[in-house]
Chains A and B, each alone.
Chain A
Amino acid sequence: MFGGLDLLATTTHAMTPPATETPGATDTSHGRRHWMSVLARAPRDTLEAAVASVEPPPNWTRLRGPEAGTVMVRGRIGGTGAAFNLGEVTVVRCSVRLVCGTVGHAYVAGRDLRRAELAAVCDALLQTAHAAELSTRLIAREAKRQAEERAEARRRAAATRVEFFTLTRMG
């Protein structure tokens, strides 16, 4: 079912960034890293609306995928807080090329193929003349929503916190 996706199995190969020589594609600046992370968390409807609002409507070719596979995720789960393999996460990856030749990539958690494809299209569009319009309308707005969502989750988790302070002193 996951055939053809070669980032399976070994941690060393997991999430190897796509090696391309396309202008912009090797750009690991803060800007692109930021928008790719926002796009990877954006809901499908938001991406769908963002792509639909671009004038003229973008045309793209699929270079790879969208295809589902798994990647090993590491986390600070060791007894000493060291990183260790946490578990495998289902991921969809997709790479597309716009008519102008700009290449966009996306790695999105889950199994929603369309969502990964739209995220890749947005990544490509953000490297073109549509960058300014998309970063305000899509990226800034979505980043704010994601930050609020995270803050809300943290707030609810914090409300359940148990203080072991007293207990420790008694012992």
Chain B
Amino acid sequence: MLEAGFADPVHEAQATFRALLEATARPGTILALPKPQAPLPLPPAAGAIALTLCDSDTPVWLAPPLASEAVRSWLRFHAGSPLVDNPGKAAFAFAVGMDVPFGDLAAGTDEAPERSATLVLGVDGFGRGAALHLSGPGVAKETTLQVAGLAPGFIAWRARNHALYPRGVDVILVAGREAAALPRTTSIREG
């Protein structure tokens, strides 16, 4: 059954955009996003990001656990995004769980590094689990982000991704209504 999107599309999309700017400018900051009526199993924060950033010009890839008919039709109706089967063709990739094809995502080119994908990755929660020590632009010295339920291979892939700069995939971690960004410029040390 098709669900509604944001209750107040203009203001909630603006609030989400502002929160994402803040999260990206200060990696490690956890921000709560407005909650749309996103169909399960799409995390509400991922739904808010999709309604705010995705439109008919941004191909979207959904990881198999998310690609239910309810989610697909919801995204097509509210965002109007084309859904692609190949993660390499996506401008936005939404994934949850343990099996994420990190290496397939578009990292852009040296001439056009902005043509890279943004990965919206669902995790179990913030404030518990593995500690990620972040440093780089937007972080004074070092900050710590605790993430539970991070897909295996993420840290290793993220290190390779960081080395690609200016190319690279930008990551937004989501859990429930919360989101934290790990832009390509952020370097991550586990421990």
Q: Chain A interface (Cβ within 8 Å of chain B)? A: 3-4, 6, 13, 16, 18-22, 61-64, 67, 95, 97, 101, 103
Q: Chain B interface (Cβ within 8 Å of chain A)? A: 1-5, 9-10, 13, 55-56, 69, 72-73, 76-78, 80
- B77–A101 contact, CB under 8 A? no
- Please indicate which of the listed interface residues A19, A20, A95, A103 has the most CB atoms of chain B within 10 Å of its own CB: A19
- B69–A21 contact, CB under 8 A? yes
Shortest beta-carbon distance from A81 to chain B in Å: 31
Which chain B positions have C-beta within 8 A of A63?
2-5, 77
Which chain A positions have C-beta within 8 A of B1?
97, 101
Q: Which 4 A-B pairs have the closest CB atoms?
A: A21-B73, A4-B9, A4-B10, A3-B10
- B13–A19 contact, CB under 8 A? no
- Please indicate which of the listed interface residues B3, B13, B72, B77 has the most CB atoms of chain A within 10 Å of its own CB: B77
- A18–B55 contact, CB under 8 A? no
C-alpha gap A63/B5 in the complex (Å): 7
C-alpha gap A6/B78 in the complex (Å): 10
Shortest beta-carbon distance from A2 to chain B in Å: 10
- A97–B13 contact, CB under 8 A? no
- A20–B10 contact, CB under 8 A? no
Residue of A with least CB distance to B8: A4
Shortest beta-carbon distance from A68 to chain B in Å: 12
- A16–B9 contact, CB under 8 A? no
Please give 6 more A-B residue pairs, beta carbons under 8 A apart, in addition to A20-B77, A64-B5.
A4-B10, A6-B55, A6-B56, A21-B69, A97-B2, A101-B2
C-alpha gap A86/B3 in the complex (Å): 36
Residue of A with least CB distance to B7: A62
- B77–A64 contact, CB under 8 A? yes
- B4–A6 contact, CB under 8 A? no
C-alpha gap A67/B13 in the complex (Å): 15
- B80–A6 contact, CB under 8 A? yes
C-alpha gap A20/B69 in the complex (Å): 10
Can you list 25 contacts pairing A with B, beta carbon distance less than 8 Å?
A: A4-B10, A4-B13, A6-B55, A6-B56, A6-B80, A16-B56, A16-B80, A18-B77, A19-B76, A19-B80, A20-B2, A20-B76, A20-B77, A21-B72, A22-B73, A62-B4, A63-B2, A63-B3, A63-B4, A64-B4, A64-B5, A64-B9, A64-B78, A95-B77, A101-B2
Residue of A with least CB distance to B76: A19
